[in-house]
Structure 1
Amino acid sequence: MGNQILGLVFCLCFLPISYGISEKENTEAFCSTNACYSVLLKKVTFTDARNECSKRKGDLVTIHNKEEAGHIESLLWKFTNTATFTQPLKLWIGLQLKSCVHENQALKGFSWISDTQDAMEIQFSNWLMEPSKTCTKVRCVSMKLQMDSPDNYKWSDNPCSSKADGYICQFMFQGMCQRVALAGPGHVEYVTHFNFTSSSLDLFPSGSLASVSCGHNGEHKEPLLECQRQNETNVYLWQSSHLDKLGPFCASEELGCKYNNGGCEHGCVEHPQNKSFSCRCRDGYVLAHDLVSCVYPDHCQPNPCEQKCKNNQHGFECSCSSGFALAENQINCINVKQCHKGECEQRSHNGYKNEELESEYNTTTSSIKREREPQQTTQYSIIQNEDTPKVTRSTPMTSMKTASPRSSSANNKSNCNVVRLSSKLLLSILCVSAILYF
């Protein structure tokens, strides 16, 4: 009997701690406009937590400002509403010590794992207390989760080899889809790229799949939908290669616009003559390819900008790649390095790149160079020493102007005169030398 009790105690000691949370309740996700975040409870080290995120094509979360911190708080607030736990939790985030602790810096010498920005430039932090001072020990950071405590969401440093209660992953995406709008009774189940299956998200990243079941009991299945980018725009919509025409899902003649506004984002119009309905958009918007969403007109097709174009409701906004600045016309881009050299005014006219102007500039530059080419003329001088005078050729002198044909002939005559004078001078020198010799 004693051995059985000891065995039971042994088993209880090594059972995993669940914090009162079931298997289905130990994870949650939240998506913003360009990133998704997920929290998972699992006893792991910092390295193991990062590997778990990497398997799902993400990394441990980085928090650079209050906006990103707000996304994490929304995630954890949502998590605590679906799960209950009886003790504070420590969750790994992507912050670790790579050098020495510095008290006068916001990150205290720590660095975000996937960040190229200088840690000294980052001003946001949320420390619970000063990190342990060290230059040699490997330290990593966890976030505290305790909703009824002022220490909630605060950071603290720990040995990276220790095990936290869970971790927060971050997944970056180019765009998001809204929830699938149904025009009748039904249910939608979503699967994201980071293996999160739920119907609780408000935004779904590109590549997510949506399974639509229509009817009160889900008796009718629609083709599988995928969140994809629409053509060359920045709009992401649910699309399917198995459907010739998209439209409100789970629609019926009996319900028309009465159920969920027909699934339309803006307006729904019924057509009694053929017992159908269609979606309409407010002024300034157009109906998207899915026939239910309303988007801005695509002012970026064809692209009116020299480089990047951002579409908006009333037009577009141009921007430039790194190393370029937007010109005065707000359309073209100017090389910043050339601006530093003073060439911007030469190569652009009111901001527009002009091939003829550039060609003219190059021609002008070439002409200037030709005018500055030195014209060499030879001058002679007499150097007299103790023995005999010597005739030597001095350093060539330069002329700053290009000779015209007329001035060229004049120079030729001048050169001839110089040669004659030089000959006479040479004869005089020879005579003087002969007299001195004899």
Structure 2
Amino acid sequence: MDAVPGLVVLLFLLGGGTGLEPNGGYCIGSGCFALFRDPTNFRTAQSLCNAKGGHLMTVRSSVSNDVLSILLGNLTGVFWIGLHRLADCRDPAGELMGFQWVTKDSESDFTNFVPSFNSSCSAHSCVSVNKEDGFKWRQTPCGQPAAGFLCEYSFTEPCATLPAAPDQSILYMTPYGFEVEDAQLVPPGSTATRSPSGTKHICFSAEWLQAPWSCEIQEGGCEHECAEDPSDSPVCFCPPGQTVSPANRVSCEAPAPGDPCAALRCQQTCYTDADGSARCGCEHGLTLAGDGTSCADVDECADARHCPGENVRCVNTRHGFECACEAGYKKAGVQCVDVDECVSAPCEHICTNAPGGFTCACYDGYRPDAEELNKCVLFCGAEECPAVCDPNDPLLCYCPEGYVVEERDKGMFCLDIDECSFFYCDQGCTNMFGSYACFCNKGYKLVDQYKCEDTDEEPEGSVTAPTSSVAPSPSAPYPDPTRTPSAVTPAGLVGIIVCAVLLIVLAVFGVHVGLGCWERKRKKSSCGAGELKAAEDETQSLQRVISDSDKNNI
């Protein structure tokens, strides 16, 4: 059976719910009503009714009021019906005195308020009924627990009751969890069991289907287990020692005493030959196992005649097989045709459809992302290349990883960063375009792509080749710079510092004398030769750098 909308409805009705079973029910016309004796407040009762696709009962006519009386009978306690008020106070002029049904309307051909209806105002009032009041409507606080509630269910495409012979009886089980016998119409999803034969039917789309039906619904009506072959009808199975009843095809029965099948304990079926001997058998899609009694799956896909055609594959299923399309193909009638994956734009740049798949490519200046091949990242592949800039903002430019942007007269360019100058590696380093690689001396091994650890091997004075062609993982922090130890002794370092200080002092003195001489010349005075000579000797040919501000003062 195909998964049509009606089947979906049946699956919802038969599979939904909260596990709470009704204590009785009644069906009339195109509606069913269920009684639940479960103490709860109004809101919870409404939620429980909704779980099966219904709502609290609306008593809009004298007929529905009669149904209410039948269901409650001699029960004591109060029960919720689907009438409540959301306004602060009632409307005495309204037909329902300011109340409305849970279906959000006030339509009703029938009212049954108690004569002394409580006229007090409250934010949220609800209505209950009880036997002591003759099942009249009484205002009750919504949060107060009641003894139970009544649910109402509406349906379409019902089935008429099945004809029954005088020596037969039929029991109908509704999808709402209660049984009926004298209804003229039953809702879809109801099952009918005919006695004494035990045959079963299910109501689907206003028609009765005999069991076994689809295994998705109540195991196809099978007493034990149901299996379904896409190319054949569902079949029922029984536990070892029992066979499927030929009278109804759903129930399991044990062989009668003295029956030759009793000793075999066949898992599925038993056949008696003309000579009185018995043998076990299996339904379609199963084969008799080596023990001669149990049934095992048959690998129908071993038969090359199954699922012919191109781009089709056979899938072995439980008790059968099905034909499916290869990856990248879809069903079109009985054939499998290529799916154009590019329609869904799976690639960031360029998508090219291919039989059974697709390929992604990148524009010039980009290459596929190593982690997500359908995406693209900037790529240079040289020491420098033009930067990619925002057309609306020429100064907003981007470079590949491992490059830095530089502004020139002809535009913005990306320059390769020499990562080796930052001493990222413990020992050896090889710079590459957009990246770098670390390597170690003999006797050391590379760890975490930049550290060199001693391997306790004797070094031979040579170095290993680069062990990596990529920079350290971005998720790992770069190591602190590793520099070569200085060969200068402490005494030598002190001497260098003293000489540097003397040179700075002499340079400052020379500049001071030169400025004084210049000032006297400006005032038409002259500098002595001795002063100039001394300044020249002291500065040891140091030249003064004139800034733009000095030029303006000259």
Normalised by the size of structure 2, how large is the TM-score? Answer: 0.32
Where relative contact order (Cα < 8 A, 6+ residues apart) is larger, the structure is 1
Normalised by the size of structure 1, how large is the TM-score? Answer: 0.40
